[in-house]
Chains A and B, each alone.
Chain A
Amino acid sequence: AQTVTQSQPEMSVQEAETVTLSCTYDTSESDYYLFWYKQPPSRQMILVIRQEAYKQQNATENRFSVNFQKAAKSFSLKISDSQLGDAAMYFCAYWEYGNKLVFGAGTILRVKS
């Protein structure tokens, strides 16, 4: 079964600085999708960014960008110009055939003012 690993249980960043959250996954498939979700204290799950495996270009969404390394099965999230509102739990997720999302354990991001 596919697995998603987030090796950083917790990260801290100074406001306005840049932080990178790591994610690795295991799959034998060549076509799949990867997502980063944000869960603030309100517990809602908010889609941050997604990447299609067949696209070599890294996805970007305003201050959020990814570094997708398909051969290494790595999918890290970079947050630039960090804001207090970025503080949340971040989940990396892999979409596999059958419409099932596989989530990592999450990384708590703390933003210091």
Chain B
Amino acid sequence: SQTIHQWPATLVQPVGSPLSLECTVEGTSNPNLYWYRQAAGRGLQLLFYSVGIGQISSEVPQNLSASRPQDRQFILSSKKLLLSDSGFYLCAWSGTGVDQPQHFGDGTRLSIL
């Protein structure tokens, strides 16, 4: 069966520091991969999605970036974190079929001090 791993579960970082959140999927090949952010008490905002290695689409311009160095690995990064980057970050994967639902990781709670 397919599983998705996302780490770390919680992270506290100072303003201006770099960021790297990692997400990996097991049990499937060539998945679509997604990064979402959920601000406190609000819905999910799609940040990036990827349909293949090295193929990244950005939905919201910001100081975050994403990379997909391997088929089942998706990384969310920042060179310098802002206070507004605080939130709950969720990685998700889906199959490539048109009716494939997205399956989410456990999330990372990021606090910027």
Contact = CB atoms under 8 A, between A and B. Distances in A.
Contacts of A86: none
Interface stretch (A13-21, A42-50, A73-81): A42-50
B60 to A, nearest CB: 12
Given A47-B103, A99-B49, A104 B43 contact: yes
B52 to A, nearest CB: 12
Contacts, number: 46
Given A100-B46, A106-B43, A44 B94 contact: no
B106 A105 contact: no
Category for how many chain A residues contact B? 20 to 34
Nearest to A106: B43
Given A91-B44, A99-B51, A100-B46, A43 B107 contact: yes
Interface in B66-113: 88, 90, 92, 94, 96, 98-99, 101-104, 106-107, 109
15 contacts: A35-B101, A37-B104, A43-B88, A44-B104, A44-B106, A44-B107, A46-B104, A47-B102, A91-B44, A99-B51, A99-B96, A100-B46, A100-B59, A101-B46, A105-B43
Given A45-B92, A52-B99, A91-B44, 10 more contacts: A33-B98, A43-B106, A45-B44, A47-B101, A47-B102, A47-B103, A100-B49, A101-B46, A104-B43, A105-B43
